[in-house]
């Protein structure tokens, strides 16, 4: 059953081919048996899952079950889950059990989904390799010597290893799309404000957005339909009509105009990755799409602007972890200052500390204008590049990440090399646009992702374009070696 997609699981449950309790038990057994190799889960919630499955079976028996009724999914461990450990990949929250569910989790509860566990991630979602998790790195199911990408590497690996058909994830600068690319699956980051951030532990509030990890675009449409909602508890959540994402999946893409930014095909792009992306574009042309070269002239400024804005916002957001109210507290503090210093010193890992230091510096008096304000002005220019480009094209395409999955340790001592992993994804977050990564082939035995960037709130178009590609190609059905012959 583990190789079924969400759409197939929904059908199987509704036709009573299997019950949610059977499916959930099998899913949990498989996670316990297989995941020790990959470490994609921080916690597995057997009890909560089996209770939800039982309730789902009762609803399914009545015949008026909601969309995802009985389907096992995983939540990234950045979402607060009532009564269930929520760590954000950090020692700081190693013992944090929230008293409420995030809005995203609530939406899945309302759709009848079964939460089987919480997925591993870079600490506070800072990273591109999952090597910064307090709970150990996640191994890429395609090659366990390689990283799965980050920060949502646990969600990506869990879906690639077919432990779950779908998982939630978050993307501040590429954390859905880059791990989806490195693990050979489909990742969707919606428009900023499409999905509520309430109860999602904040990294950089003006960039963070929740989305989906699945094997197919059709499943991403089903999950986004569940997650997208207007939420008055998140003042940045936008009250914008929600499309029926599945309804337009089969629309023809004849006449679609694809923009190819010349800045996304230059120096630093692995030749094999470039070849797979170009073949994918040719495939679209053979399906009736037109290609237009475009320019996003401020692209080279996106990584530097992001590494001022994101740390600045993180230094403010992470000031709440003080050892007083929840989370890690040092032993025997001498006084209040000692409590703050040692709790934070012991609770945060090196990358998080680096970001807090950079952010506090960029925001400090005398430097604010030189760094933070300047970065915000650059951000405006980056956004304008996209607004101009979308006057002439429907979708922008390019590589998701400059290289396929890399080996553990190969970039962890070089922050700049690690930061450049997101060179093609960060601008989308700075502009607030939706983006996707879909599998488009292999380099050697490692998957490559094609990035699709859409206009504001046009997730339906992205999903349609991705689905049409997946109807015509088999790349999304390729699976890691260890799954061969495993039914
Ligand atoms: N890799 C980027 C960073 O380290 C993006 C992370 C993310 O999207 N959460 O900040």
Q: What pLDDT band is residue 365 in, cutting at 50, 70 and 90? A: confident
Has residue 386 been placed in a domain?
Answer: no
* 13 Cα–ligand 1 center, Å: 36
Max Cα distance, the chain (Å): 70
CB 211 less than 6 A from any atom of ligand 1: no
Place of tokens 């939406």: 107
Q: Is the pLDDT of residue 118 over 80?
A: yes
User: Tens digit of pLDDT for each residue in 185-200?
Assistant: 999 999 999 999 999 9
Identify the three-state secondary structure at position 76. Answer: strand
Q: Which of 19, 20, 175, 302 is catalytic?
A: 175
Has residue 372 been placed in a domain?
Answer: no
User: Tens digit of pLDDT for each residue in 35-46?
Assistant: 999 999 999 999
Please tell me the distance from the alpha carbon of residue 318 to that of residue 292, in angstroms, as a whole number: 43
The answer to whether residue 76 is catalytic is yes
User: Tens digit of pLDDT for each residue in 200-225?
Assistant: 999 999 999 999 999 999 999 999 99
User: Tens digit of pLDDT for each residue in 239-297?
Assistant: 999 999 999 999 999 999 999 999 999 989 999 999 999 999 999 999 999 999 999 99
Has residue 277 been placed in a domain?
Answer: no
* 3 Cα–ligand 1 center, Å: 29
Q: Is the pLDDT of residue 148 over 80?
A: yes
The pairs formed by 15-23 with CB atoms below 8 angstroms and a separation of 24 or more are: 16/60, 19/53, 19/57, 19/60, 19/70, 20/52, 20/53, 20/54, 20/56, 20/57, 20/60, 20/69, 20/70, 20/71, 20/114, 21/50, 21/53, 21/54, 21/57, 23/53, 23/70, 23/71, 23/72
**Total domains present in the chain:** 1
**CA-proximal residue: ligand 1, atom 5 (nearest):** 173
The answer to whether residue 175 is catalytic is yes
Mean pLDDT of the chain: 97
The pLDDT of residue 239 is 97
Domain hosting residue 414, numbered range: 6-256+391-480
The pLDDT of residue 203 is 98
Has residue 132 been placed in a domain?
Answer: yes
Has residue 384 been placed in a domain?
Answer: no
Peptide bond into 151 cis (omega under 30): yes
User: Tens digit of pLDDT for each residue in 422-478?
Assistant: 999 999 999 999 999 999 999 999 999 999 999 999 999 999 999 999 999 999 999
* 155 Cα–ligand 1 center, Å: 15
Question: Residue 196 in contact with residue 162, Cβ under 8 Å?
Answer: no
CB 126 less than 6 A from any atom of ligand 1: yes
Has residue 30 been placed in a domain?
Answer: yes
The answer to whether residue 343 is catalytic is no
Has residue 165 been placed in a domain?
Answer: yes
Q: Which range has the worst mean pLDDT, 271-275, 359-363, 481-485? A: 481-485
Q: Is the pLDDT of residue 64 over 90?
A: no
CB 125 less than 6 A from any atom of ligand 1: yes
CB 435 less than 6 A from any atom of ligand 1: no
Specify the CATH number for the domain of residue 75.
Answer: 3.90.1300.10
DSSP label at residue 84: B
Has residue 348 been placed in a domain?
Answer: no
CB 172 less than 6 A from any atom of ligand 1: yes
pTM: 0.98
Q: Is the pLDDT of residue 355 over 70?
A: yes
The pLDDT of residue 486 is 65
């Amino acid at each position: 059953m583990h190789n079924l997609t969400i759409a197939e699981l929904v059908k199987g449950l509704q036709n009573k081919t299997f019950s949610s309790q059977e499916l959930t038990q099998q899913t949990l057994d498989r996670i316990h048996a297989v995941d020790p190799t990959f470490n994609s889960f921080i916690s597995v919630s057997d009890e909560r899952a089996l209770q939800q499955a039982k309730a789902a079976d009762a609803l399914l028996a009545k015949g008026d079950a909601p969309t995802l009724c009985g389907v096992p999914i995983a939540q990234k461990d950045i979402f607060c889950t009532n009564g269930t450990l929520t760590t954000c990949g950090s020692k700081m929250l190693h013992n944090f059990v929230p008293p409420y569910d995030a809005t995203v989790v609530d939406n899945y509860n309302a759709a009848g989904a079964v939460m089987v566990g919480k997925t591993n991630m870079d600490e506070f979602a800072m990273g591109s390799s999952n090597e910064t998790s307090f709970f150990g790195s996640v191994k890429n199911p395609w090659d366990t010597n390689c990283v799965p990408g980050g920060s949502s590497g646990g969600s990506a690996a869990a879906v690639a290893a077919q432990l779950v058909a779908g998982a939630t994830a978050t993307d501040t600068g590429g954390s859905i799309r880059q791990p989806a690319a490195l693990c050979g699956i489909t990742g969707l980051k919606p428009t900023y404000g499409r999905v509520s951030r309430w109860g999602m532990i904040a990294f950089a509030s003006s960039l963070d957005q929740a989305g989906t990890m699945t094997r197919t675009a059709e499943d991403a449409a089903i999950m986004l339909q569940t997650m997208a909602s207007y939420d008055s508890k998140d003042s940045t959540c936008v009250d914008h009509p929600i499309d029926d994402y599945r309804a337009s999946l089969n629309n023809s893409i004849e006449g679609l105009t694809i923009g190819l930014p010349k800045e996304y095909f230059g120096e630093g792009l692995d030749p094999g990755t470039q070849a797979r992306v170009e073949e994918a574009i040719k495939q679209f042309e053979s399906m009736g799409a037109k290609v237009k070269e475009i320019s996003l002239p401020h692209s080279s400024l996106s990584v530097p602007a992001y590494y001022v804005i994101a740390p600045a916002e993180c230094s403010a957001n992470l000031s709440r972890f003080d050892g007083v109210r929840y989370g890690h507290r040092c032993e025997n503090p001498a006084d209040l200052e000692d409590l703050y210093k040692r709790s934070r010193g012991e609770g945060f890992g090196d990358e998080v500390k680096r970001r807090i230091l950079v952010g506090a510096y960029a925001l400090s008096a005398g430097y604010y204008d030189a760094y933070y304000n300047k970065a915000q002005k650059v951000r405006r220019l980056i956004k304008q590049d996209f607004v101009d480009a979308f006057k002439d094209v429907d979708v922008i395409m390019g590589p998701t990440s400059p290289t396929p999955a890399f080996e553990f340790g190969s970039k962890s001592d070089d922050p700049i090399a690690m930061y450049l992993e997101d060179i093609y994804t960060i601008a989308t977050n700075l502009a607030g646009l939706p983006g996707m990564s879909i599998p488009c082939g292999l380099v050697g035995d490692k998957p490559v992702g094609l990035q699709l960037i859409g206009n504001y709130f046009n997730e339906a178009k992205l999903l349609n374009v991705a689905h049409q590609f997946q109807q015509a190609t088999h790349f999304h059905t390729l699976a890691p070696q260890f799954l061969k012959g495993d039914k």
